[in-house]
Amino acid sequence: MPTTWMVFGIIISILLAITLIIVCFIRSRIHLATKMIAETSKALNSMTSTLFFPLVPFLMQMVVFVVWASITIWLATSGEENCRRKLGMEPIENGEPCDCGSLGVDANCHYVNLTKDSNRIMGLQAYNLFGFFWLTCFVSGLAQTTLAGAFASYYWAFKKPRDVPNFPVLRSMGRAIRYNLGSIAFGSLVLAIVRFIRAILDFLQKRLVGAENVVLKFLYRALSCFFYILETVLKFLTKRAYIMMAIYGKGFCRSARDSFSLVTRNIVRVVVLDRVTTFLLFLGKATITLGMGAVAFIYFSGRWDVHPIPRVDLYYYFVPVIVVLIGSYYICDTFFDVYEMGVNTIFMCFLEDSESNDGSAQRPFYMSEPLKKILGKQNQVTNTP
């Protein structure tokens, strides 16, 4: 047993040493990531309407879900009614067919069963599911493009926050609806196709439960893994493409190419920023969720004794505590997505700004002073171009 703990300690020490070495080599990138997060906080403080914008795509997603669920239930219960006449003592199944519309009028006409075309219904359900994937991806893409346009308008304001336009979220959404709907539809279509293929593979894999064909099982699992990775990569690239669309107003394919080129030229910065941002936002979500869960536990378990809030003592208090935990995490995740989109947008603008401009009078930097200090550069002029 002591040997096991010693080996475990050695492995942990080696991993810690490797982590420290990596942190030392990328400390400047980590510093840049923290500055991007601070810059996003300034943008959110200047554009508080972005914090309430998630309510709009949430309502749109709810409408999509209700429509999809209604069609799914309607298809599942659809079919051709079979009605027959009951004559004498003969079984009703042997009677002559009759019009089901005469039920209640013709005393001899009775309902027998419902005939379903399984293949046709399955095809329509698949079509409905694909439409659901496409619409949800489309709403998400519209929301991302809107937020990207709002944060980009903040970044490209020469004097912040003085030059930031009024109603940036509404203006950005108007531009997205007027100029970018087709591009958003195409980008969401690509994601929907991959997600639909994954759903088909999951369906087929469940049908293979208990089957003894090892090769076929391995093939399905390999394909599922491949399309999962492909969907993750496409989400990453599509989000950056939407940002470039919001900045320049170009089509999806051109924006995807430009964003991919920009990311590959700054791959280390992008990876570090993405990991640092994900970790910090996760800490924020966990802290708020656990904090709300602790407050809910103290309150519903009867340990809350603060006047004038009434004391509640429930026997099954864990049920509302779980509801509070789930609700808190969902709300945090929704609003922290705005923060994440802001960090990604400002970072892409920063990369584009640092590559396209040189600080001269003709091409001044639009980045804030803290970001200029990171690059070690300054504008040659201070007046607005």
Instruction: Compute the distance between CA of residue 377 and CA of residue 205 in angstroms, rounded to an integer.
Output: 56
Nearest CA among 119, 59, 110, 104 for reference residue 86:
110
Task: Write down the mean pLDDT value for the chain.
Answer: 85
The pLDDT tens digits of the residues spanning 59-106 come to: 999 999 999 999 999 888 887 777 887 776 667 766 778 777 766 666
Token digits of residue 155: 């970044």
**Interval 299-318 mean pLDDT:** 71
Token digits of residue 365: 């930097």
Nearest CA among 140, 167, 135 for reference residue 154:
167
Cβ neighbours of residue 167 closer than 8 Å, sequence gap 6 or more: 49
Is the confidence at residue 307, as pLDDT, over 70?
no
User: What CA dihedral angle connects 133, 136, 139 and 141, to 10 degrees?
Assistant: -60
C-alpha dihedral sign at 270, 276, 277, 282: positive
Q: What is the pLDDT of residue 33?
A: 79
Distances (CA, A) of 194 to 131, 225, 231, 257, 358: 13, 12, 6, 19, 41
Is the confidence at residue 311, as pLDDT, over 70?
no
The pLDDT tens digits of the residues spanning 23-67 come to: 787 777 777 778 888 889 899 998 988 988 999 999 999 999 999
Nearest CA among 143, 161, 146 for reference residue 39:
161
Instruction: Compute the distance between CA of residue 154 and CA of residue 172 in angstroms, rounded to an integer.
Output: 11
| Residue that wins the pLDDT comparison between 67 and 339 | 67
Question: Hey, what amino acid is at 212?
Answer: E
Please state, for a pLDDT cut of 90, what percent of the chain lies above it.
37
The pLDDT tens digits of the residues spanning 142-188 come to: 999 999 999 999 999 988 888 888 899 999 999 999 999 999 999 99
Instruction: Compute the distance between CA of residue 98 and CA of residue 100 in angstroms, rounded to an integer.
Output: 6
User: What CA dihedral angle connects 95, 100, 103 and 106, to 10 degrees?
Assistant: -50
Q: What is the pLDDT of residue 134?
A: 96
Point out the least confidently predicted range of 30-44, 202-216, 343-357: 202-216
**Interval 367-383 mean pLDDT:** 76
Phi, psi for 80 (deg, rounded to 5): -105, 120
**Interval 249-257 mean pLDDT:** 92
Is the confidence at residue 306, as pLDDT, over 90?
no
Is the confidence at residue 384, as pLDDT, over 50?
no
DSSP letter (8 states) at residue 110: E
**Interval 290-314 mean pLDDT:** 76
DSSP letter (8 states) at residue 165: P
Instruction: Compute the distance between CA of residue 267 and CA of residue 270 in angstroms, rounded to an integer.
Output: 5
Instruction: Compute the distance between CA of residue 270 and CA of residue 260 in angstroms, rounded to an integer.
Output: 11
Confidence band, pLDDT 50/70/90 cuts, at residue 385: very low
- Bridge partners of 80, per DSSP, are 115
